[in-house]
Structure 1
Amino acid sequence: MKAVIVAGGKAPDKELFLREIEDANYLIAADSGVNVFYKYDVCPNVLLGDFDSAKHEAIDAFKEVEIVKFKPEKDFTDSELAFKHAIENGADEIVLLGCTGTRLDHTIANIGLLKSALDLNIKAMIKDENNCIFLVSKDTVLQGSHGQTISFQAFGEKVGNFYIVDAKYPLQDYSLEFGDGRTVSNEFIDKSIKITFSSGTVMVIYSND
């Protein structure tokens, strides 16, 4: 089951929003993410959060929808609460929108949700108009178009024996650490790139300007 969470970061544009919800089974508005559903006239399955930044007219428009309200003083972000709610309702694929933006602390915490999903064998991605971010813990073939930009970072511990195959800038038997600039802005030269590694977790970032 695919769940789409819209959180309170930079709002997705209409094209991205509609594309992601088209095949979704469960839609979650996390706090001011409800403003996005209201703007694009789409009804979510649930409203969730402390609603400290949600527009009153947006909440009122969906007053018949299930609302799960939390106090502002809590141990989890609204995005994490929405993530947990999606899993509790059977999601095995989660797309996170509105999870990047001006608040770097929230962005980092949201990337942490990708690790939680990976540990649970749940497919999860953070998407905005310029980026698609996800984590992999095993050898992976990645699809793309000629010239498309892709970058790699170690998530947490060092990634051992890292190889990039069939990319513009191939790499062999490399010890990849977080923050390494060598694996930024690689490119597809054909339809696929293969990455292999012996240990660690790789953060994959498709990006465009």
Structure 2
Amino acid sequence: MSRFTILLGGDLLPTPRLDRQVAGSRVIAADSGIRHAGALGLMPELWLGDFDSAPAEVDPAFAAVPREVFPAEKNKTDGELAIAVALERGATSLVLVGAFGGARSDHAFLHLTLALRLAEAGSEVLLTSGHQEGVPLLPGTASFDYDDGTLFSVLAFSELTGLTEEGAKWLLDGVDVPFGSSLTLSNEVQGTLRISLGSGRALLLAHPFPASEF
């Protein structure tokens, strides 16, 4: 597996869990995402974008990072361009750091939907700010390593069928969830969280911070 970390322009809270998730990965920074490199102790192999939101002063440690400049008027965001380059370079696993928050809610929404599309195409994807993280849910069963008490929601991007949640305060067993329902919001981990999905498009959004490791 070839893991790439994509540094995006959203919020970041460095945590030991996040350090483990990006350890040993290759790194590409998208525009203002370069500001997260120093906080995480990462060295990008490429910094790309239209540089309309890049910091005015760059840490001298990153002055020699190769840059690829795109025009401001383009049909892809800097983040999507960075992901495309990572896939071209052999990425099979992606950690999208800074995928949440920031000044552009439209970009954050894109990251959620893009993660689903990438997962359906066969890539392993994690979206994270350190404070919260998202994982696409595909039909089948997945297990997660969250501590007891971790808050989580299942965000539905379509009607869901056969949704089961085990290891949770409020259990679900093979339920169908209409698109737009709040049924799957604000649950809590109790034990080993396992989620099964019959059909539909969804994403697990969890809040692992604060955690017992702090």
TM-score range, shorter chain: 0.7 to 0.9
Q: Which residue of 2 aligns with 1:130?
A: 131
Matches within 5 A, 1:33-112: 33-38=33-38, 42-58=42-58, 62-101=62-101, 102-112=103-113
Consecutive unaligned residues of structure 2, counting only runs of 5 or more, are 210-214
Q: Distance in 2 between matches of 1:207 and 1:171?
A: 20
Secondary structure in 2 matching 1:183: coil
Consecutive unaligned residues of structure 1, counting only runs of 5 or more, are none
Secondary structure in 2 matching 1:86: helix
State the TM-score, normalizing by the size of structure 1: 0.87
Q: Distance in 1 between matches of 2:184 and 2:56?
A: 45
Q: Which residue of 2 aligns with 1:182?
A: 183
Secondary structure in 2 matching 1:139: strand
The Cα RMSD (Å) is 2.2
State the TM-score, normalizing by the size of structure 2: 0.85
Q: Which residue of 1 aligns with 2:212?
A: none
- Partner deviation per Cα, 1:113-166 (whole Å, 9 max, x = no partner): 2022112211111101321101121222233222221211222x2111222223
For 1:124, give the aligned amino acid.
V
Identical aligned residues as a percent: 28
Q: Distance in 2 between matches of 1:80 and 1:97?
A: 13
1:142 to 144, 148, 152: 144
Number of aligned residues: 206
Q: Distance in 2 between matches of 1:20 and 1:121?
A: 19
1:60 Cα deviation after fit? 6.5
Q: Which residue of 2 aligns with 1:160?
A: 161
Q: Distance in 2 between matches of 1:147 and 1:38?
A: 31
Q: Distance in 2 between matches of 1:195 and 1:18?
A: 25
Quick check: 1:153–1:176 contact (8 Å CA) kept in 2?
no
